[in-house]
Structure 1
Amino acid sequence: MTMYAYKAKKTDGTITKGKLETSNKKEALIELEHLNLIVFSIKELNSFLYKDVHIGKPIKSKDFVLFLRQFSTLIESGILLLDALEILSKQIDNKILKEALEQIALQVREGIALSAALSKFPKLFPNLLVNMIQSGEASGRLDDVLKRMADYYEKQHRLRQKVSTALTYPAVVGSMAVLITIFLLVFIVPIFADLFLSFGEDLPAYTQFVLNLSQVIQNYWWIILLIAIILLSGFKELTKRESTAFIIDGFLLKIPVVGVFIQKSILARMTQTLSSLLSSSVPILEAVDITSNVMSNRVVKRVLQESKDSLERGESLSIPMQRHWMFPDLITQMITVGESSGALDEMLHKVAEVYDQELEEASNKLQSLIEPILIVFLAAIVGAIVLAIIIPMFSLFETF
């Protein structure tokens, strides 16, 4: 694919500039003509130099939720789809989303469906949103679907915030522990090492070990860093393998305290997603399949695929869940009741609310448990290094 920069005039006479990635110049001109643009100039660019580079996600979760909420409000107010897109493209601050909405508005003006236009920007608009909008277009309930999606992604944003809040503190304290340890071993311990050497006394084995560790870090830090990078890269490659990732995801769920928190966050997201899809009249087989693709944990993905197979055989959605240790009785019983009563979406919504509340409580509990453990851990590391310095000091004082 080649990147092209173009300058053209819209049907209303305004001048527009932009970039387009196609196989060749001819295809670029055809695509621009389909958008009813009168092309003044088009120039091939170096795709590597002009490729958009993003650190992290191109759009923050908070901004994405705000965009969906505004979009939903505009459509619900009776504003035409094209007008809503043009209004949002002028109001949005995020440059990447702004440019995407401008392109989407041009395509919608040409009669292309909104879902098809959104699907051309997979890094900005998830498949779940595209599929739901496509369902809304087919049923004529686009305003309702957008409102549901705004609610759904807002809940997902709050869910991620809870997980992030619970895990940020231990990550920060753990990083501080590593940095403080390295600082003591590299800058403080060598000062005392020279002092001990000047006295010529034999040092305790523990103190000698700490001094040797300090020397290794000072002289071979680059080797340690290289090994760490290799190990991290190797671990990242392993996680790309389905079998290894499945084992890792299962292990994370079984970690005491933390595993329960992760389990609740996964179940909350799963029930929220499945409930939103079913309440939007998405067929249950398709809803389960989409939910499976949304989930990042391989254990849940596998069970959901087994549930889909169970449905295709004419059996209950809950049967594979009943056989798996990760799914508590609350979920399986509510799903069974929902299937028999024809109100599965409502039952899943209630379960999602329960787990959302439990996740809040689990987050508070996790922080209250981890905080003292991390403080003791940090104190133990610093104390161990200080102790290695103090022990020989007592021996020296006794000598004098």
Structure 2
Amino acid sequence: MPRFQYTGRTASGKVRGTVNANSEREAVSRLRSGGVRVIDILEVKETVWTKDIHLGPPVKLVELVLFLRQFATLVSAGVSVIDSVSILAAQVEGKVFKGVLYEVEKELREGQSLSKAFQKHPKVFSVLFISMIQAGETSGNLDDTLERLAVQYEKQHALRQKVVSAMAYPILVGVISIAVVIFLLAAVVPIFEGLFADFGGELPVLTRFVLAMSNWTQSFWYIWSGLLLALILAFTKVRKTQKGKWRSDYAMLKVPLIGKLLQKAAIARFTRTLSSLLKSAVPILEALRMAEQTVGNEIMRNVLRESRELLEVGEPMATALKNHWSIPPLVAQMVAVGEQTGALDTMLQKVADFYEQEVEVATDRFKAIIEPVLIVLLAVLVGTIVLAILIPMFELFNQLNTY
């Protein structure tokens, strides 16, 4: 879609910016509806230098949460859906999201429903998002659905941040440790190697080992760097296959400390999603199908698939949960009680609340345990190299003192 650069005035003063539209007239119309009186407008020709480059998702979860909360407020205040989208499109800061919302506004003015308009932008709005909006339109409770979606994405973002922060620390320390060791072996140890050769004599076993590692690091750097790159590419390729995902997710769940953290995060994710969908009056089979897509773990995705298949033949979904090692007994029992009492959405929400708190506790515990372990590991690696250099140095000093 063409982009137009404009200068205009609002109640607060002079403004500049860009807007996406099919024509200059449409761009001016959109700006006017957003409270901007256009002074000057010019189409920006897309080139390699002006084209936006986006890394990661086109719209961040934080942007989506803010949009949903403001959208819910406007709709509940009696503002029409079209006007609400128009107002929010004018004040959204992200260029990609702004363009998408302007396109949604255009489709709404052409007579499309809100869910259909969102459906044309699958990279921004997920299947879960569209299904809940559709359910909200059908039930007439769109403002409640928008608020529920905001809570859903807010919790999802917080959960992801906790897991990422817990995993980022050991990865960062690991990368720094490897970089320090490579630097010492490639740049520091060779300086002392020539000194040891000048003095002659037999070196200690530890020193000979470190010198051999130093020579290997310098001489065959292309081999070990190539192997590392090949391992990364192989893992990425394996993760793209169904069997590869299953095996890697199974292995991660079995890793001490990390496995429990990932298990709790996955449970919190799918129970929160399932609860939100059921509260929005989405049929349970469809809700389970969408929860499968958001759980983020192939093992638990298979469990949810089995639960859906049991429901299709008239069996309770708790049966599959009870019979699988990756689902704690508490979750299966709460689901069973929810099915029996007809309050499955409420029970799932309680499970989600509980496991979100458990994730927070688990991340704090993980950081408290892993920090001293990584520090000790780094000290051992660096200390071994330093000790391998110091031992023969002390022997050389002793020999010089005897002379």
The TM tier, using the shorter chain, reads: 0.7 to 0.9
| CA displacement, residues 134-159 of structure 1 (integer Å, 9 cap, x when unaligned) | 11122222111111000111111111
**For residue 89 of structure 2, what is the amino acid of its counterpart?**
S
Q: Secondary structure at the match of 2:264?
A: helix
CA distance in structure 2 between the partners assigned to 1:60 and 1:266 by the alignment: 20
2:249 paired residue number: 249
Give me the TM-score of the superposition, normalised by structure 1: 0.87
**For residue 8 of structure 1, what is the amino acid of its counterpart?**
S
User: Are 2:188 and 1:154 aligned?
Assistant: no
**For residue 127 of structure 1, what is the amino acid of its counterpart?**
V
2:215 paired residue number: 215
* Alignment map for 1:81-92 (pairs within 5 Å): 81-92=81-92
2:140 paired residue number: 140
CA gap 1:375/1:44 in 2 versus in 1, 3 angstroms: closer
CA gap 1:43/1:255 in 2 versus in 1, 3 angstroms: closer
User: Are 2:304 and 1:292 aligned?
Assistant: no
8 A Cα contact 1:271 1:348, kept in partner: yes
User: Are 2:44 and 1:8 aligned?
Assistant: no
* Alignment map for 1:345-360 (pairs within 5 Å): 345-360=345-360
CA distance in structure 2 between the partners assigned to 1:12 and 1:377 by the alignment: 59
8 A Cα contact 1:253 1:259, kept in partner: yes
Q: Secondary structure at the match of 1:202?
A: coil
8 A Cα contact 1:8 1:15, kept in partner: no
2:9 paired residue number: none
CA distance in structure 1 between the partners assigned to 2:30 and 2:142 by the alignment: 31
Distance apart, 1:15 and its partner CA: 8.4
Q: Secondary structure at the match of 1:311?
A: helix
User: Are 2:204 and 1:193 aligned?
Assistant: no
CA distance in structure 2 between the partners assigned to 1:316 and 1:142 by the alignment: 30
8 A Cα contact 1:7 1:15, kept in partner: no
CA gap 1:139/1:15 in 2 versus in 1, 3 angstroms: closer
Distance apart, 1:202 and its partner CA: 2.4
**For residue 388 of structure 2, what is the amino acid of its counterpart?**
A
CA distance in structure 1 between the partners assigned to 2:96 and 2:221 by the alignment: 40
**For residue 270 of structure 1, what is the amino acid of its counterpart?**
F
**For residue 378 of structure 1, what is the amino acid of its counterpart?**
L
Q: Secondary structure at the match of 1:372?
A: helix
Give me the TM-score of the superposition, normalised by structure 2: 0.87
Distance apart, 1:182 and its partner CA: 1.4
Q: Secondary structure at the match of 2:196?
A: helix
CA gap 1:354/1:12 in 2 versus in 1, 3 angstroms: closer
1:36 paired residue number: none
CA distance in structure 2 between the partners assigned to 1:90 and 1:217 by the alignment: 57
| CA displacement, residues 299-355 of structure 1 (integer Å, 9 cap, x when unaligned) | 011010000000001001111111101111111111111111100001111111111
Distance apart, 1:382 and its partner CA: 0.7
CA distance in structure 2 between the partners assigned to 1:319 and 1:288 by the alignment: 15
CA distance in structure 1 between the partners assigned to 2:316 and 2:398 by the alignment: 78
8 A Cα contact 1:92 1:98, kept in partner: yes
CA distance in structure 2 between the partners assigned to 1:363 and 1:232 by the alignment: 26
Distance apart, 1:60 and its partner CA: 2.4
**For residue 170 of structure 2, what is the amino acid of its counterpart?**
P
* Alignment map for 1:1-400 (pairs within 5 Å): 8-10=23-25, 14=29, 53-400=53-400
Count residues in correspondence. Answer: 373
CA distance in structure 2 between the partners assigned to 1:346 and 1:240 by the alignment: 35
Distance apart, 1:45 and its partner CA: 8.0
Distance apart, 1:295 and its partner CA: 1.7
Distance apart, 1:200 and its partner CA: 2.2
Single out whichever of 7-16 and 239-248 deviates more from structure 2: 7-16
Q: Secondary structure at the match of 1:384?
A: helix
**For residue 80 of structure 1, what is the amino acid of its counterpart?**
S
CA distance in structure 2 between the partners assigned to 1:140 and 1:51 by the alignment: 40
Distance apart, 1:268 and its partner CA: 0.7
8 A Cα contact 2:2 2:23, kept in partner: no
CA distance in structure 1 between the partners assigned to 2:187 and 2:376 by the alignment: 23
8 A Cα contact 1:9 1:15, kept in partner: no
**For residue 224 of structure 2, what is the amino acid of its counterpart?**
I
Distance apart, 1:62 and its partner CA: 2.0
The alignment's C-alpha RMSD in Å is: 2.4
2:8 paired residue number: none
CA distance in structure 1 between the partners assigned to 2:219 and 2:67 by the alignment: 52
> Identity over aligned residues, as a percent?
44
Distance apart, 1:4 and its partner CA: 7.7
| CA displacement, residues 37-96 of structure 1 (integer Å, 9 cap, x when unaligned) | xxxxx99989x9997542222222222222222222222222111111111111111111
CA gap 1:15/1:138 in 2 versus in 1, 3 angstroms: closer
Distance apart, 1:198 and its partner CA: 1.7
